[in-house]
Amino acid sequence: MNHGVACAANWTVARRIVVKGSSGAGKSTLAAELARRLDLPPIELDGLYHGPGWTAPAAGAFRDTVAGALAAAPDGWVVDGNYDAALGQTVLDAADTIVWLDLPLRVKLLRVFRRTLGRLAGGDVELWNGNRESWRSAFASRDSILVWAVRQHRAHRATFPAMFEGDPRLVRLRSDAQIRQWIEAVAEAADRYRGSGSR
């Protein structure tokens, strides 16, 4: 597995990036920063998956929607999210760079708690398609976001190493410092590439 800035040396292939990780890892933040600095459209899987009233699409319909979003950005994209069971290889096969944000569980849980508390305290915060978090669903349910974060963290630690073993596209980042270093390296390489007149 690659760590840190290992894949940034050949930035020309880093045009179809998928950012993976459990809740609180910072997927949306990193994806938005990459999209801005590389001038690529962001694709947020949560926004495509969650319908009004938290309804979920049929797996086939979701795959078609995501495939359409990828096809609509032929020059590249930054995908934020997981949904491996629903999507299969739809995103992974198309990606040239796979970023796994594998931060410590305690860091992610603290972020999830603060983020959710902030949304609830802020009142009417809409997430996707009119959906909003509630105190009960966030903290007092078997499917609370904190429980989900723990499940995701354990599942990714159990499955991702074997899933991506030997895959040169994978960049596994384990700390905020590594994330910052990798972003700067990719952005610097992108600037050099643009300055060379290539595209």
Q: HEC profile for 119-179? A: HHHCCCCCCCCCCCCCHHHHHCCCCCHHHHHHHHHHHHHHHHHHHCCCCCCEEEECCHHHH
Residue 189 has pLDDT above 80, yes or no: yes
Q: What pLDDT does residue 134 have?
A: 63
Residue 3 has pLDDT above 50, yes or no: no
Q: How confident is the model at residue 5 (pLDDT cuts 50, 70, 90)?
A: very low
What CATH number does residue 79 fall under?
3.40.50.300
Q: How confident is the model at residue 10 (pLDDT cuts 50, 70, 90)?
A: very low
User: The pTM is what?
Assistant: 0.83
Average pLDDT, the chain: 85
Q: What pLDDT does residue 160 have?
A: 97
| Higher pLDDT pick, 127 / 93 | 93
Total domains in the chain come to: 1
84-113 residue pLDDT tens: 999 999 999 999 999 999 999 999 999 988
Angle in degrees, 0-180, between the axes of helices 145-163 and 105-121, rounded to the nearest 10: 140
127/125 Cα distance (integer angstroms): 7
Span 45-67, mean pLDDT? 90
Domain that holds residue 107: 2-195
State the CB neighbour count (10 A cutoff) for residue 137.
Answer: 14
